[in-house]
């Protein structure tokens, strides 16, 4: 049998064929208008990404409940869409599906990781506040069973709407500490009812959403899930638990399981350590080639336990590293940060003219100084960690406006831009007036 490489097509269990093994992983774009409707900025970004050659594009968080945004500027899919909104969604999916590309909406609810500015009392599995300095997040309230049921319905309705506006699949976000991930995390979920305690109970909302979504969208529409390999916190979701959840998801016919890890308290999805120095960290691979991928060892172990297609995301930058993952039976390579400044950065890799992707995170980390990302002061390091993310958002604003990206942008300046635009977006949202961040 011919060797699988990044250019080999992949047929998913639902019958969908991805034209190659590269996927743009989800990145929150912040480019919806104040009604949560996609703008021309999103169309521009996805045109570029579709031209960039990845077989699958997964959108950033698309939120299923308006008051549980992951950030101001999120696309929102809650309730029925107006004709104008439908047309805007269709323009977006049309851009993303050019040249046989698949585009899946990542459907999500931020839970206790909702910013205080958006909602000071977000709903969560339990009233357990995030353990982060800075007071950016509100006081979570434990959901009632009726609220959990309503949220499950909101996910399923959103998935069904995705199908009607031209997405070719959905990815249910159950990673990174957002609502479904928090249900899985015993530190965040201290419930004593049917949604807490045992792993089966903690996984219940996720499994119900997957089961009912399949009923709603039929057999030929792709359903993916993004799952933490671990929360990387003492007492959080363990790798053993994660494998068990993966086997349940396989039984429900999930088409692609994306493996990631961590949350806001332990940002291992970005390869970064959390505030607790004693927390478990991802196991580094013994293989030199595979070492760049943060969750490779977990994915390799999972491969032996499940047959469903696996997508591995986090740190993959070189053809050799990607090939090492494919050689171990990983099906899809997820890529996020390398595709921010140049939306078409995957093309040279796909056509064989380059062997690696740009690693912007290395450039951001290299800035020296007492107040830089390697500052001896923990608070400065935390602020710089967040500012490093805002740098990517700053690139999206520029690209969304049709401007050039700005690799020299200072992260703290980007942070100021994002905060200014977020406040204006929220003010417009509250007064029911129109505002577009691009």
Among residues 287, 173, 269, the alpha carbon closest in space to that of 227 is found at: 173
By CB atoms closer than 10 A (0-12, 13-18, 19+), residue 379 is exposed
Q: Which residue's CB is nearer to ligand FMN, number 37 or number 57? A: 57
Long-range contacts (CB closer than 8 Å, 24 or more residues apart) made by 281-287: 281/232, 282/229, 282/230, 282/232, 287/324
Give me the residue label for tokens 């021309």: 40
Binding mask 89-108 for ligand FMN (x = CB under 6 A): -----------------x--
What are the two backbone dihedrals, phi and then psi, of residue 38, each rounded to the nearest 5 degrees?
A: -60, 140
Number of residues that bind ligand FMN (CB under 6 A): 22
Quick one: which of 222, 324, 336, 349 contacts ligand FMN (CB under 6 A)?
A: 336
Quick one: which of 30, 72, 315, 437 contacts ligand FMN (CB under 6 A)?
A: 315
Cβ atoms of 127 and 141 closer than 8 Å: yes
Cβ atoms of 174 and 226 closer than 8 Å: yes
Q: What is the closest distance, in whole angstroms, from the C-beta atom of residue 392 to ligand FMN in the complex?
A: 3
- For residue 356, the 8-state DSSP code is B
Q: Does residue 216 touch ligand FMN according to CB under 6 A? A: no
Six token digits for residue 375 = 């500052």
Q: Cβ contacts of residue 179 below 8 Å, gap of 6+?
A: 68, 108, 109, 110, 111, 112, 123, 124, 125, 151, 205
Quick one: which of 232, 295, 296, 392 contacts ligand FMN (CB under 6 A)?
A: 392
Q: Which residue's CB is nearer to ligand FMN, number 6 or number 25? A: 25
Among residues 277, 187, 304, 201, the alpha carbon closest in space to that of 236 is found at: 187
Q: What is the closest distance, in whole angstroms, from the C-beta atom of residue 93 to ligand FMN in the complex?
A: 17
Binding mask 395-434 for ligand FMN (x = CB under 6 A): ----------------------------------------
Among residues 258, 398, 406, the alpha carbon closest in space to that of 333 is found at: 258
H or E stretch including 293?
Answer: none
Interacting stretch for ligand FMN, rule CB under 6 A, among 11-19, 80-88, 312-320, 362-370? 312-320
Q: Does residue 314 touch ligand FMN according to CB under 6 A? A: yes
Binding mask 153-192 for ligand FMN (x = CB under 6 A): --------------------x-xx----------------
Among residues 262, 283, 331, the alpha carbon closest in space to that of 303 is found at: 331
Interacting stretch for ligand FMN, rule CB under 6 A, among 318-326, 334-342, 343-351, 375-383? 334-342
Q: What is the closest distance, in whole angstroms, from the C-beta atom of residue 71 to ligand FMN in the complex?
A: 9
Q: Which residue's CB is nearer to ligand FMN, number 168 or number 263? A: 263
Quick one: which of 27, 64, 290, 345 contacts ligand FMN (CB under 6 A)?
A: 27
Interacting stretch for ligand FMN, rule CB under 6 A, among 41-49, 209-217, 310-318, 364-372? 310-318
What are the two backbone dihedrals, phi and then psi, of residue 379, each rounded to the nearest 5 degrees?
A: -65, -40
Q: Which residue's CB is nearer to ligand FMN, number 322 or number 335? A: 335
Q: Does residue 270 touch ligand FMN according to CB under 6 A? A: yes
How many residues are present in the chain? 438
Q: Does residue 124 touch ligand FMN according to CB under 6 A? A: no
H or E stretch including 11?
Answer: strand 10-11
Q: Which residue's CB is nearer to ligand FMN, number 310 or number 336? A: 336
Q: Which residue's CB is nearer to ligand FMN, number 77 or number 142? A: 77
Q: What is the closest distance, in whole angstroms, from the C-beta atom of residue 24 to ligand FMN in the complex?
A: 9
Q: Does residue 25 touch ligand FMN according to CB under 6 A? A: yes
Quick one: which of 260, 263, 285, 422 contacts ligand FMN (CB under 6 A)?
A: 260
Question: Rounded to whole angstroms, how far apart are CA atoms 2 and 397?
Answer: 42
Cβ atoms of 312 and 323 closer than 8 Å: no
Q: Does residue 389 touch ligand FMN according to CB under 6 A? A: yes
Q: Does residue 202 touch ligand FMN according to CB under 6 A? A: no
Cβ atoms of 195 and 125 closer than 8 Å: yes
Question: Rounded to whole angstroms, how far apart are CA atoms 100 and 51?
Answer: 10
Q: Does residue 26 touch ligand FMN according to CB under 6 A? A: yes
Q: Does residue 436 touch ligand FMN according to CB under 6 A? A: no
Cβ atoms of 273 and 378 closer than 8 Å: no
Question: Rounded to whole angstroms, how far apart are CA atoms 89 and 285?
Answer: 41
Question: Rounded to whole angstroms, how far apart are CA atoms 228 and 245?
Answer: 10
Q: Does residue 28 touch ligand FMN according to CB under 6 A? A: yes
Among residues 266, 195, 188, the alpha carbon closest in space to that of 233 is found at: 266
Q: What is the closest distance, in whole angstroms, from the C-beta atom of residue 256 to ligand FMN in the complex?
A: 13
Q: What is the closest distance, in whole angstroms, from the C-beta atom of residue 337 to ligand FMN in the complex?
A: 3
What residue ranges bind ligand FMN (CB under 6 A)?
25-28, 60-61, 106, 173, 175-176, 226, 260, 269-270, 313-315, 335-337, 389, 392
């Amino acid at each position: 049998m011919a060797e699988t490489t990044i250019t080999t097509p992949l047929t998913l269990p639902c019958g969908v064929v991805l034209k190659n093994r590269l996927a743009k992983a989800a990145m929150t774009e912040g480019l919806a208008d104040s009604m949560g409707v996609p703008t021309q900025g999103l169309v521009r970004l996805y045109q570029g990404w579709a031209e960039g050659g990845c077989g699958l594009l997964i959108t950033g968080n698309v939120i299923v409940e308006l008051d549980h945004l992951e950030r101001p500027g999120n696309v929102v899919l809650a309730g029925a869409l107006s004709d104008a909104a439908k047309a805007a969604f269709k323009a977006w999916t049309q851009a993303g599906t050019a040249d046989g590309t698949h585009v899946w909406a990542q459907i999500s609810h931020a839970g206790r990781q909702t910013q205080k500015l958006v909602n000071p009392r977000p709903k969560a599995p339990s009233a357990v506040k995030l353990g982060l300095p800075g007071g950016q997040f509100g006081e979570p309230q434990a959901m009632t069973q009726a609220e959990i049921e309503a949220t499950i319905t909101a996910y399923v309705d959103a998935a069904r709407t995705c199908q009607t506006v031209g997405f070719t699949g959905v990815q249910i976000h159950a990673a990174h500490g957002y609502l479904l991930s928090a249900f899985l995390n015993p530190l965040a979920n201290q419930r004593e009812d049917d949604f807490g305690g045992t792993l089966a109970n903690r996984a219940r909302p996720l499994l119900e959403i997957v089961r009912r979504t399949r009923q709603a969208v039929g057999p030929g529409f792709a359903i993916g899930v993004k799952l933490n390999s671990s929360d990387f916190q003492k007492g959080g979701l363990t790798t053993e638990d994660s494998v068990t959840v993966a086997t349940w998801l396989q039984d429900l016919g999930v088409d692609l399981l994306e493996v990631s890890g961590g949350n806001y308290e332990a940002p291992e999805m970005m390869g970064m350590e959390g505030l607790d120095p004693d927390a478990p960290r991802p196991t580094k691979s013994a293989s030199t080639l595979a070492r760049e991928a943060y969750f490779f060892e977990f994915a390799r172990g999972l491969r032996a336990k499940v047959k469903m297609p696996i997508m591995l995301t986090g740190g993959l930058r070189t053809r050799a590293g990607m090939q090492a993952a494919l050689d171990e039976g990983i099906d899809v390579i997820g890529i996020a940060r390398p595709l921010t400044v140049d939306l078409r950065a995957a093309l040279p890799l796909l056509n064989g003219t380059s062997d690696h992707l740009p690693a912007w995170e290395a450039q951001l980390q290299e800035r020296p100084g007492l107040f830089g990302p390697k500052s001896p002061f923990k608070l400065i390091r935390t602020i710089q960690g967040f500012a490093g993310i805002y740098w990517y958002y700053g690139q999206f604003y520029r690209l969304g406006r049709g401007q050039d990206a700005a690799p020299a942008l200072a992260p703290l300046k980007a942070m100021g831009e994002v905060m200014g635009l977020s406040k204006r977006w929220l003010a417009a949202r509250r007064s029911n007036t129109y505002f577009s961040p691009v």
